[in-house]
Chain A
Amino acid sequence: MNHAFKLGEAEYNLGLSRAAEGYRLHVGGRSLAVNLHRNDDGSAVLTLDGRSEPAVVAVRGDEVFVHLDGDSYALRYEHPLQRLAAQAHGSAEDQVRAPMPGSIVALHVEAGSSVARGDTLLVMESMKMETTLTAARDGVVESVHFAVGQSFDRDALLLELMARPEQGDAP
């Protein structure tokens, strides 16, 4: 069970299985009878433990948007291979993501740059405000994904860090 969704800042691990009728959601040590019938227009009927209610569901890539009981929610699917590979590449701190939509004003580093914790990586602009993004730890810039002037959406992966190679490694 290594599928996960992010809802806000929280990450939820879950599994889905098929039952004789409908499906079962495996989450937090529980197994719940669930089902979802989606129509072409996005309207849907969601069933949990035998109780059904209307919902509206839209999907775009790994994002699932759900309107349920008067409120809307966005969940982001994290494929196990991506999620686990990301965990392996160190902490999420190594992935510098856009805190809000905007564009790059200035880049202070390039791939291969060695940075120390707190060093300025780039300056972005959003809503006429400039925001400076800094390195969360010592390391080397693995890749930079946007150039000056390019714009991006929130959570876009702007830049990736990696651990600095250890000293004395034979070439």
Chain B
Amino acid sequence: MKRIESRLNCASAEFQANSAHNRALAEAFRAMQHRARHQRPERDMERLRAQNKLFVRDRLKLLLDPGTPFLEFSSLAANEAYDGDVPGAALVTGIGIVAGREVVVNAGDASVKGGAWYPLTVKKIVRALDIAIENRLPVVHLCDSAGGFLPLQADLFADRYYAGRIFRNQSVLSKMGVQQVSIVLGHCTAGGAYVPGLSDYSVIVRGTGAIFLAGPPLVKAATGEDVTVDELGGADMHTSVSGTADYPASSEEEAIAIARDIVAQFNRREKARVEWQAPEAPYYDPQELYGVLPRDIKAQFDMHEVIARLVDGSRFHEYQPNYGKTLVCGYAHLWGYKIGILANNGVLFNDSSLKGAHFIELCNQNRTPILFLQNITGFMVGREYERRGITKDGAKMIMAVSCSEVPKFTVMCHGSFGAGNYGMSGRAFDSRFLFSWPQSQISVMGAEQAANTLAEVKIRQLARHGKQLTAAEIAAIRDPVVAEFRRKSSAYWSTSEIWDDGMLDPVDTRNALGIAISAALNTPIAEPRYGVFRM
């Protein structure tokens, strides 16, 4: 496997301008992420202290093994929703190391709206548990939630992927033999009560932790019974009378220590075997990624330069280097793991689509996880390409992606437009993990193109009624459409909506993927089987 030879001129004005631009984007992302993680109204923090509760980030520090990485999911979830009042969707999820074991952490953040469940909170929990199911990762739940946010109950309660899915996923995990431990650090009321209830192990903090289907006020209203929190669902009652919880703890610190000891009892299973060799840092500095990425979403760049800054030793075995060159395919190692890479170097033509489908089949045949690096404007359009069957060739690629059995990982590097999003394993195609870079965009078509299309329809409508529009009137129609389209195609929107597992500073991508691949290998890789490829 030979080293990619970078053709990048790091001294060029273009590189420097890109670098400054993308560094600023990364810094803005980090600043926003820092606010979402740590910035809380003082009264909320004060309330936690008054309740003798730790801030969720401090709980995580106690929970996770020191000196180990934590891959946080969707740190900016809900950031564009609910007027930005529910940072991180009142929840921290991610993959961390507890007692040497890879686990999914699902930690309610009571410093945000008392940890109330908003629709996106539910979506984020369900996604975290999906990750646990797909990758067979044990789960540690840190339960501290005020319960469902009632004004939005219709958007979080009943549908297939709403709150019920949390408990369904917990049950499925249990059926699969993937263990869960709950640490009850606050009240688990109503549905929330089932989180510890459906865990294999639960620890509850005396005084602050409680589990009940209805709290004292509701009980009073329903039956007239007067009962205290402790009597109704406190630590001692549940661990000595009801058996709903297993271990009483006298402090959060003790509860977390007990939970760590419980996780230490989990058997570690053999992982799926893939090719592996001792890891090697990339030869090219990942910091140079900032200079690789263009400032304009429509500008093209060479994905080889990105691959060179992600993979071990910057070494890459390129498959079909001279065929279907708009899709770069090949093998590399990342943190030691052998992976197959599909990366866009332009629009998908018939040949590049066929090459992609073929390469996905190869990776499945030789049990090699696949990394998709997206920068795609879509499949080629036009009479010539339709005549050559661009649709059926694209369908082959989508079929191969959909039926792939090896774990897939997707990074939204730049543009992701049209059906290219699908062919390159977009969110709907069950990549085990999907991350976005800050400047990336997703939409069914480009913003300008879409806005023009929408404005055109409007203008023609008005013209039919004999109206001639001035340039200013056209702009007044067009500009809001463009703005709305831009907003909803930005990576901040997609990460807020949890269309991904979080936004990444490009330089963090290698570590994030290493942790993701390691996690994915907890699930055995099945033999590949496909549907019917339209030939």
Contacts and interface: CB of A to CB of B under 8 A. Distances in A.
Whether A and B touch (Cβ < 8 Å) is answered with: yes
Nearest to B248: A88
Interface stretch (B11-19, B60-68, B269-277, B283-291): B60-68
A16 B251 CA distance: 23
A18 B100 CA distance: 10
A85 B250 CA distance: 7
Interface in A22-39: 24, 26, 31
A31 B67 contact: yes
B430 interface: no
B258 A81 contact: yes
B262 to A, nearest CB: 11
Interface residues of A, number: 17
Interface in A44-79: none
A1 B66 contact: yes
A80 B249 CA distance: 12
29 contacts: A1-B66, A2-B62, A2-B253, A2-B257, A15-B65, A15-B66, A15-B67, A16-B66, A16-B67, A17-B66, A17-B67, A17-B68, A18-B67, A19-B67, A24-B66, A26-B66, A26-B67, A31-B67, A80-B257, A80-B260, A81-B254, A81-B257, A81-B261, A84-B250, A84-B253, A84-B254, A88-B249, A88-B251, A89-B250
Interface string B222-251: 000000000000000000000000000111
Nearest to B68: A17
Rank and list the top 5 A-B pairs by shortest CB-CB distance, nearest first: A17-B67, A88-B250, A15-B66, A84-B254, A80-B257
Contact of A1 (B61, B250, B258): B61
A113 interface: no
A4 to B, nearest CB: 11
Given A84-B250, A88-B249, 16 more contacts: A1-B61, A1-B62, A2-B257, A15-B66, A16-B66, A17-B65, A24-B66, A24-B67, A26-B67, A80-B257, A81-B258, A81-B261, A84-B249, A84-B254, A87-B250, A89-B250
Contacts of A84: 249-251, 253-254, 257
Contacts of A80: 257, 260
A16 B62 CA distance: 13
Contacts of A81: 254, 257-258, 261
Interface of A: 1-2, 15-19, 24, 26, 31, 80-81, 84-85, 87-89
Contacts of B250: 84-85, 87-89
A2 B98 CA distance: 13
A88 B67 contact: no
Interface in B477-512: none
A85 B254 contact: yes
A19 B260 CA distance: 21
B186 to A, nearest CB: 18
B520 to A, nearest CB: 22
Contacts of A1: 61-62, 66
Nearest to B258: A81
Nearest to A24: B67
Interface in B55-103: 61-62, 65-68
A87 B67 contact: no
B279 to A, nearest CB: 9
A80 B254 CA distance: 8
A163 to B, nearest CB: 13
A26 B67 CA distance: 8
A81 B250 CA distance: 11
B98 to A, nearest CB: 13
Nearest to A3: B66
Contacts of A17: 65-68
A37 B253 CA distance: 32
A57 to B, nearest CB: 22
Contacts of A2: 62, 253, 256-257
* Most chain B CB inside 10 Å of its own CB: which residue of A15, A26, A84, A88: A84
B254 A88 contact: yes
Contacts of A19: 67
A19 B61 CA distance: 18
A141 to B, nearest CB: 21
Contacts of B258: 81
Nearest to B61: A1
Nearest to A27: B66
Contacts of B253: 2, 84
A24 B256 CA distance: 22
